[in-house]
Structure 1
C-alpha cells in the first residue's frame, strides 16, 4: 500500500522531492518505492527526465484506479470510525483570510472539540490554491463559481451591502439612486472585478453598472471596513464582513432596495474520489454553523438586509 500511496503523491505533486515532502520521507525512499512498484507490475508508470516527471499512458490509467482505491479505503476507515463517533487523521483546508478569521474560527474549534483525534491544517489566504497539487482536502471560497473540475457544495448565500459611516453621510448626503454613487468617494476591494462591484438588475431585468472612481484600493476587506468607519468613503462589502459594524451603528446600509449581485460561500474538493467521512462531516458542520439564511445577514435594527439576486 505504501508503494501505491507514494505513486499517487508523485503523480499529484509532479516530482520526487515534492512527494517526499508530503509523505515526510526521504527522496531515496520515494524513488525506491516507485521503482519497486514498476518492477512488481512489469510496466513503466512514469517518464523521468532531468527536468520533469510525467505519467505514461499506463501510469495515467493506473493513477485513476489507485486514487479511487485509496479513497475507498480511507472512506471505509472513516465510516467505521464514524459509527463509534470518532474521526481521525488530518484535514488540510484553505480559506480566505477575513472570512476564515471571523467565521471559520468558531466552526473549526467546535469541530475539533467534538473530534479529539482529528487535526486540522488551516491555510488562511486570499489566493486561489491548487487543491490537487498542494495537497488540500478542501477549500472554502467566496464568490461566483467558475467553470472548474472541482466539486462544489454551497454552504451559504453571501450578499453584498453598500454602506458608509454616519459621519460620512452627514457630510456628503445619502445616495438615493445607484447613479448618485458617481458623486461619492469610493473605497474598493481589489479582488473583485471593478465592473462587478456596483452591478444590479433594474426593473426591466437588465444589468446595470456604475463605476465610481476609487480613492482607496486594497486587497483586504477589514482595512476598507476600518477606512469606511473612519468616514473616508462608501464601501460595498459582504454582510459577513460588516454585519457587526452595521448592528452597532458604525456603518449605515444605503440603497437597500437595489438587487446587488449575489455571491456564495462554497466548499470545494477535488474530483475523482469519494468524499471522505471526515471531509463530509466538516462540510456538514460548516453548513449547520452558518445557516440559511446565515446569521451574518441579521443586521438588527440598523437596517434591512440587502435583497439578493436570484441564481
Structure 2
C-alpha cells in the first residue's frame, strides 16, 4: 500500500502545534478552523505511521517519535525558506514576512517609524509587529526577532547587545508649581512617584551624584501602570515625578511640557538587547531587518549604542 503524501503545509501545521502546545491556538494563528488543524495532524500521523503528539484535555505534547520528527521538519522548512530567499535574491529583492516583538511603548513611539522606513527601502518585506512588555517564548509565538529593555538571563536565542537606554527624572511645570522641585535625591521621598508596576524594585530609586556617590531613596506614589505610555500621560497630567526613559519623554522635554529634575545626577541605565531565533538568523529578510535596526536604534534619543 502506497504511503500518503506529506505536504509542507502539513509539516508547518505540525511544527506550530508542537511549539504552541495547542491546536486551538494554531487555528487562530493560521486563521482556519480547528477541524482543519486536527485534520492536517491526523493526515500527517497517518502518512508517517506513528503518533507524533500525545493529547490531554489541556495540552498536546510531543511523543519521542514526534520530537525527532519535529527537529527534522524544522530543518526541512528552514531549507525550503532559504531556497526561496536565494531564488528571490537573483532579482535583488527580498520578500516575505518578518515577525518582530518589541517592548510596547518603545515600539509605538520609535520602532514603528524605523519599520516604515525599512519597508520603503524593501517594499516586498512584510513586518508583523507584536507589542508586549512580557517575556515571551519566541519560538512558541512564531517570532523571529525581539527587542527587550531589561537585563536578560541566559537564553537559547542569539543575543545581540544594542546598547543602554538612559533614564531621567521628569515632572510637569504644573506639578512643580504646586509641590516644588526636589533639590536632593533624598527629597524625592516627599513627592508623588509615578512607577512602572511590572519593573521589579521600582519602589527604590538608585541615584548617582556628580561625585559618584550613589543614593538609594524610596520612590512611591498612588499611581502605577504596566505600560510606558500610561506613565507618560500621568506625568504630563501633573500626577507626580517619573523616572523615565529618555526616549519616552524626549519630545515633551524639548517642548517644555516636562522639566528634567536633579541636573548632574544620573539614574541607572537599562540594557537594550535584541534576541534572535538562531534558525531564522540566516534568512535574508530577517538579516536585513536585524542589520537595519542595529544601525538605526543607536541614533534614538537617550540610547547609547553598544561599543563594537
TM range (shorter): 0.7 to 0.9
Cα pair 2:150 2:270 within 8 Å, conserved:
yes
Residue 34 (1) aligns with residue 41 (2): yes
Take 2:164 and 2:301, find their aligned partners in 1: how far apart are those partners? Answer: 10
Structure 1, unpaired ranges of 5+: 299-306
Tell me, in whole angstroms, the C-alpha distance in 2 between the residues paired with 1:52 and 1:295. 43
Alignment partner of 1:109 out of 106, 116, 120: 116
TM-score (norm 1): 0.81
Asked if 2 retains the 8 angstrom alpha-carbon contact of 1:71 and 1:274, the reply is: no
Equivalent-residue separation in structure 1 for 2:134 and 2:106 (angstroms): 13
Pick from 234, 238, 243 the counterpart of residue 236 of structure 1: 243
Does 231-240 or 203-212 show the bigger shift? 203-212
Q: Distance in 1 between matches of 2:262 and 2:12?
A: 55
Answer yes or no: is 1:84 the counterpart of 2:94: no
CA–CA separation in structure 2 for the residues paired with 1:131 and 1:77: 23
- Give the structure 1 partner of residue 262 of structure 2: 255
The offset of 1:162, in angstroms, is 1.0
Q: How high is the TM-score relative to the length of structure 2?
A: 0.81
- Are 1:92 and 1:122, in contact at CA under 8 Å, matched by a contact in 2? yes
Question: In the aligned structure 2, how far is the partner of 1:196 from the partner of 1:76?
Answer: 52
Q: Is the 8 A contact 2:16 2:140 kept in 1?
A: no
The 5 Å alignment of 1:93-104 reads 93-104=100-111
Give the CA deviation at 1:36: 4.1
Among 275, 287, 302, which residue is 1:280 paired with? 287
Aligned-residue RMSD, C-alpha? 3.2
d(CA) in 1 for partners of 2:145, 2:234: 33
Of 111-120 and 99-108, the range deviating more from structure 2? 111-120
| 1:136 corresponds to which of 143, 157, 164 | 143
- Residue 295, structure 1, aligned to residue 268, structure 2: no
Q: Identify which range, 26-35 or 277-286, moves more after superposition.
A: 26-35
| C-alpha deviation, 1:173, in angstroms | 4.1
| Aligned residue in 2 for 1:212 | 219
Per-residue deviation, residues 48-69 of structure 1 (Å, max 9, x unmatched): 3455322111211221232123
Contact 1:155 1:286 survives alignment (8 Å): no
Question: Matched residue of 1:153: which SS?
Answer: strand
Structure 2 gaps of 5+ residues are 1-7
CA distance in 1, matches of 2:200, 2:72: 40
User: Residue 15 of structure 1 aligns with which residue?
Assistant: 22
1:75–1:274 Cα contact (<8 Å) kept: no
Q: Structure 2 residue aligned with 1:265, among 272, 275, 283? A: 272
Cα deviation, residue 7, structure 1: 1.9
CA contact (8 A) 1:195 1:210 kept: no
Change (3 A) 1:254 1:4: same
1:180 aligns with 2:187: yes
Residue aligning to 1:303: none
Contact 1:196/1:209 (<8 A) preserved:
no
In structure 2, what is the Cα distance between the partners aligned to 1:27 and 1:139? Answer: 28
TM-aligned CA distance change 1:222 to 1:17, over 3 Å: closer
Distance 1:62 1:151 in 2: 24
Work out whether residues 161 and 256 of structure 1, in 8 Å CA contact, stay in contact via their aligned partners in 2: no
Over 3 Å counting, the alpha-carbon distance change for 1:230 and 1:9 in structure 2 is closer
